[in-house]
Amino acid sequence: MQNNSVPNRLIDTVEIEKLYAFTDKHFVPYYDLQTELVDHLANAIEAQWLINPNLSFEDALALEFKKFGVFGFTTIVEERQAALSKYYWGKIFREFATFFRFPKIVLMLIMTGILYRTLLLSSYNNYIILALFGIMGIIEITAGYQWYRKIHHQQKVTEKKWLLHDIIRNIYIMVPVMLFANSLNFLFKMAVNGTYGHWQIVIFTIIMVPLGFLEYVRIVKMPVLIDQEMARIVKNHQFVK
């Protein structure tokens, strides 16, 4: 029979705050991920206290942290970032894939045909192409700015930094801006050299129309899912101040 001087010892609110400070000190800036780690550490420490209730909080924490290896929490942060990025990009491409099924594919084929005929018959197809990229660029910049404001507002209201916000930045701001800038530079060099030929128009049309629909999914359809996900995450973490 165990002789526990402090039976059923549990983590208190002060120690919870110490765990949050500990995760932040060890390079976990995201509140949602901090909460997952705090929950894990708290349960692990309480499990240690069932065996040795006289073990200090600091010693129990040190023992548990050793289990994460030499890189500490860094590996977990990277894994969660990669997993969430994969999850949301998967959502985007699954929604995009619906445009290759009936009846949405009919709309895509119609748009492809219209763009192809317009470029083929025009003597200024290079300028039309540049104009299309200019429009897409304006849409990208507008969407990126709106998401920046939304992220800034959510962080100001919650006073926390969330992992989902970094994923949103990659999906809606950093990656599209980089891709658009490189594409525009390439097409600009082609356009100033004269009009496009038949096969150039075919290739451009086949690529441009799906990209336009992908942009539609990413900018119009995905924000609803992102907002729902963010609301769920914030709600799940409201019990911790």
Report pLDDT for 80: 86
Helix (H, G, I), strand (E, B) or coil at 184: helix
191/127 Cα distance (integer angstroms): 7
Percentage above 90 pLDDT, the chain: 26
pLDDT band at 239 (very low <50, low <70, confident <90, very high): very low
Contact in structure between 142 and 212 (CB atoms under 8 Å): no
Chain-wide mean pLDDT for the chain? 83
Handedness of CA 136, 140, 141, 145 (dihedral sign): positive
Structure-token match 């890189």, residue found: 71
145/66 Cα distance (integer angstroms): 42
CA torsion angle for 33, 38, 39, 44 (degrees, to 10)?
130
Distance of CA 230 to the CA centre of its chain: 11
* CA within 13 Å, CB half, 221: 17
Check pLDDT > 90 for residue 168. Answer: no
pLDDT band at 237 (very low <50, low <70, confident <90, very high): low
Specify the pTM: 0.70
Check pLDDT > 80 for residue 110. Answer: yes
Distance of CA 8 to the CA centre of its chain: 41
Max CA-CA distance within the chain? 93
Check pLDDT > 50 for residue 2. Answer: no
Question: For the chain, which residues make up each domain, given as ranges?
Answer: 13-72, 101-236
Handedness of CA 62, 67, 68, 72 (dihedral sign): positive
Cis preceding-peptide flag for 223 (omega within 30 of 0): no
Cβ contacts of 214 within 8 Å, gap of 6 or more: 92, 96
Kindly state the average pLDDT of the residues 164-188.
71
Lowest mean per-residue pLDDT among 18-22, 107-111, 221-225: 221-225
Give me the helices (H) in the chain, please: 13-25, 31-51, 57-66, 74-97, 104-121, 125-158, 163-169, 175-191, 198-216, 222-236
Cβ contacts of 107 within 8 Å, gap of 6 or more: 99
pLDDT digits (tens, 9 = 90+) for 112-160: 999 999 988 888 887 888 788 778 878 877 888 888 888 888 888 888 8
